[in-house]
Amino acid sequence: MSVEFINKTIELFESKSFDKAIEYNYDNIQTVQKIYNSCNSPIIKYPFSLKLLNKLISKHKKSSDANLQCDILRQLILGLVVKKRTDMMQEEEELKSPKTKIKYVLNIANDQVKKKLFFLYLVTYEFEVSNQKNKFFLGIDYEFTKRVIALMQLNFETSTTSKLRTFSYLWIVNPGEFDKIQMDLLINKLMRNQKIIKILHGSDSLDFPYMFEIMFDKNKAICKDFTNSFIDTRYLCEYYKVSIGDMEKKCAIYEALLYFETINQDKYQYLLDSHDNMGPVQDVQWDIYKMSSYHTKYALYDVLFLKHFLFDIYRKGKQDTPNIFKSYKYIINLVRFTFLEKKEVTTLTKISKLEVDPMNNYLIKKNKDNFTLISIYNKIIENLKIEDINLDLNLLFRINYIKSTITLLFKRIIYGLILTNFRVFKNKKETVNTELRNDKIFELLKEEKLDMVFEVAKLFEQEARNKIILNYK
């Protein structure tokens, strides 16, 4: 069956019946996946090449095996994506300091054939990812019309090299049009895939709520899988800026791209002009079937730069603040934790708030002085640094989005230490008999597989315990 399927696809491709080839493959998408699942191809890292495809086809006509069929099918589907493209862009014309040779192939799924091609590309990309050791990066953004999803922009970054010309694939789709089978493909092949790092910028207001509530249908397991493999560059940008003393923390996407030297001044001005030519964003009626050149450029540029932008933040962070660079990976995970907590996918801080809020004015006695638990908390976190991971709490708490969530986590740990190590009073005479074990917090973090948050919490507890004993024993 697979040989016949490959032969039919070759025949349609060579006769330039591209739409028929797409329809045929989509109607047999399970066969496509079975072929991909049957092999472990050694050459999947190579980009689409008509020369390579013809070479593979010639070899196939003489003798064929599972790996060869995978390679041919992959090249054929990538060839269809290239042939049906809306536009193509060059990395060297977009970035300030290009280090590779990427061609960005843009497709807009504005008809049924293109939509089907998107899902064929999706399973092909997942095949590439599953057969390589390194992680892949996917830029994502969304556009809404009156808070209803209208567009999803995706930049499928692939393996690159400084010498070989490679392709990355930009897609603009409307997930609001996907049926259940298509949405399941998107979620399972892409959004839950732990080898694909999803990059967004400023996703807290509309993007993340849409994904959790609509796309993932409030499925907590799906949301956890997505969140564990996503990075929001806005908060890394803010962290870098506060670490160098820039308290304005201006991290709007265009300004941030220029600041971190992902783009040059000319490209920055071009982006501003494109934005202005489109009119006020809040008034735009996004429609995938009615995309002007200005709308298309605006939409694709929101994802085109995201991988390069992330790497440029890392570069400047390591270069300008080497003493705290180790903490960046913990910031990423604390942001992830905050997203989960704010949507109540996990509820550790919700539980903690119920526990600690009534205790703020509880007190301990030292000599003739009384110290409330909230005053002890404020004293302990003042200028506290977790040296093992280069995490300065003064910097951490300047990221406004995560401050309240992380404050609750740390307050719960400190109150747990106090109740475990001191005699605590509700008032000047009445003692507290409540048990507040920190083991419970750590067990919950472990259960949720929040390993880096667990590490931060344990190290914080150690630093806090030392400071509490020093000041109050």
Rounded to whole angstroms, how far apart are CA atoms 180 and 354?
39
Q: Please give the pLDDT value at position 43.
A: 61
Instruction: Choose among 194, 264, 260: nearest CA to 233.
Output: 260
CA atoms within 13 A on the CB side of 259: 17
**How confident is the model over 236-257, as a mean pLDDT?**
94
Q: How many CB atoms lie within 10 A of CB 55?
A: 13
Is residue 246's pLDDT more than 70?
A: yes
The tokens of 122 are what? 């999706």
> DSSP string covering 311-348, please?
HHHHHHHHHH-TTTGGGHHHHHHHHHHHHHHHTTSS-H
Banded pLDDT at 429 (limits 50, 70, 90):
confident
- The correct CATH number of 87-336 out of 3.40.50.1370, 3.30.420.10, 3.40.50.1000, 3.90.10.10 is 3.30.420.10
Question: For 254-259, which contacts have Cβ atoms below 8 Å and span 24 or more sequence positions?
Answer: 256/201, 256/309, 257/305, 257/309
Instruction: Choose among 102, 297, 307: nearest CA to 201.
Output: 307
Residue 36 contacts residue 123 (beta carbons within 8 Å): yes
Banded pLDDT at 428 (limits 50, 70, 90):
confident
Instruction: Choose among 86, 119, 89: nearest CA to 102.
Output: 89
The tokens of 162 are what? 């400084």
Question: For 359-368, which contacts have Cβ atoms below 8 Å and span 24 or more sequence positions?
Answer: 359/415, 359/432, 359/434, 362/424, 362/425, 362/426, 362/432, 363/424, 363/425, 363/427, 363/428, 364/418, 364/422, 364/423, 364/424, 364/425, 364/472, 365/423, 365/425, 366/472, 366/473
Rounded to whole angstroms, how far apart are CA atoms 402 and 55?
54
Q: What is the DSSP letter of 428?
A: S
Angle formed by the axes of helices 438-447 and 400-421, nearest 10°: 140
Write out pLDDT tens, residues 370-403: 999 999 999 999 999 999 999 999 999 999 999 9
The tokens of 131 are what? 């057969």
Q: How many CB atoms lie within 10 A of CB 50?
A: 11
3-state DSSP assignment of residue 284: coil
Rounded to whole angstroms, how far apart are CA atoms 27 and 325?
49
Mean pLDDT of the chain: 95
**How confident is the model over 142-166, as a mean pLDDT?**
93
Instruction: Choose among 407, 408, 388, 392: nearest CA to 452.
Output: 388
Domain borders along the chain are 1-84, 87-336, 346-472
The more confidently predicted of residues 139 and 434 is 139
Is residue 41's pLDDT more than 80?
A: no
Helix (H) or strand (E) run with residue 107 in it = strand 102-108
The tokens of 421 are what? 């190590």
Is residue 19's pLDDT more than 80?
A: yes
Q: What is the pTM of this model?
A: 0.95
Residues in the chain: 473
Write out pLDDT tens, residues 187-218: 999 999 999 999 999 999 999 999 999 999 99
The tokens of 415 are what? 């109150």
